[in-house]
Structure 1
Amino acid sequence: MSLATTPRARYVTLSDAADYLSVTERTIRNFIARGELTGYRVGTRAIRVDLRELEAMLTPIPTVGGGRR
């Protein structure tokens, strides 16, 4: 598989990740600590997360009748 066909990861700050999911930065840090989300260190202090991994955490809520009429 070439790099041209591989989808690129988009890494965002913890603050941006929290804004994206409408949660607190502490929640993002907890996801990382529990192993539910991978954190990537950049340098000695900065931490980033993969936006695609955040999107993969989202799951639809089942509804009665599947939401169809």
Structure 2
Amino acid sequence: MPMNKSARRLASIAVAAECCDVSTKTIRRYIAAGRITGYRIGPRLLKVDLEELDQLLRPVGGAA
């Protein structure tokens, strides 16, 4: 089954934290603050959309 462009790239809290070089606690804080959406898979497993994390990135300094 082919994936379409709008498909979510879901990752665990640990993987998301590693991708952003932050702690898992930071990812959980982002979810609690509403900065990103957490998706519950079953009773305990929580995942986040990596696209939402990418959207948090902002250039700083002399970037055009």
CA RMSD across the alignment: 1.9
Report what 1:31 is aligned to: 30
Alpha-carbon distance, 1:27 to partner:
0.2
What runs of 5+ residues in structure 2 fail to find an aligned partner?
none
TM-score (norm 2): 0.87
Q: Gaps (5+ residues) in structure 1?
A: none
TM-score by length of 1: 0.81
Amino acid at match of 1:44: P
Runs of 4+ in 1 over 6 A off after TM superposition: none
The aligned length equals 63
1:12 partner letter: A
Counterpart position of 2:59 = 60
Name which one, 1 or 2, has greater alpha-carbon Rg: 1
Q: Are 1:44 and 2:27 an aligned pair?
A: no
Any idea what SS the aligned residue of 1:40 has?
strand
